[in-house]
Amino acid sequence: GARRSPARRLVLGWFLLCAAIHGVLEGYFSLRHRTLPADTGLLADVWKEYAKADSRYMTSDDFTVAMETVTALAWGPLSFLTFLALLRQHPARFVLQLVVSLGQLYGDVLYFATAARAGWAHSD
């Protein structure tokens, strides 16, 4: 039935993936942004590769650090909470999906707006 539909699985997978990316990858950046250029390891290499397209990630840019920290601390845990609410079909799942999705969208808009205002100076 609806409990095992491909659409439901996709949404569950999406919020679980978001929780992992926000918590692990962006959490790493939030904690290690100052030492990232000298760091070694998989997560450091991921960010160094990303920084080839946006150099703000190698310079501890204030906006980028703030945005990634909010993402890691707020959207990561809330994405996991949304995953659990969806899994259990809790009534709060709808509000949680809305809050997390709008929060992520707002972060994306600010990310691209700040890059555009800077004339894409940090972009490859």
When pLDDT is averaged across residues 94-121 and rounded to a whole number, the result is 97
Averaged pLDDT for residues 104-119? 97
Answer whether 69's CB lies under 8 Å from 30's CB.
Answer: yes
Q: Is the pLDDT of residue 2 over 80?
A: no
| 93 token code pair | 């799942």
Hey, where are the domains in the chain?
2-117
The pLDDT score that the predictor gives to residue 8 is 94
Mean pLDDT within 65-89: 98
- Distance (Å, rounded) from C-alpha 80 to C-alpha 30? 19
pLDDT of residue 1: 62
Average pLDDT value for residue range 72-100: 98
Q: Which residues of 2-14 are buried (b: 16+ CB within 10 A; e: fewer)?
A: eeeeeeeeebeeb
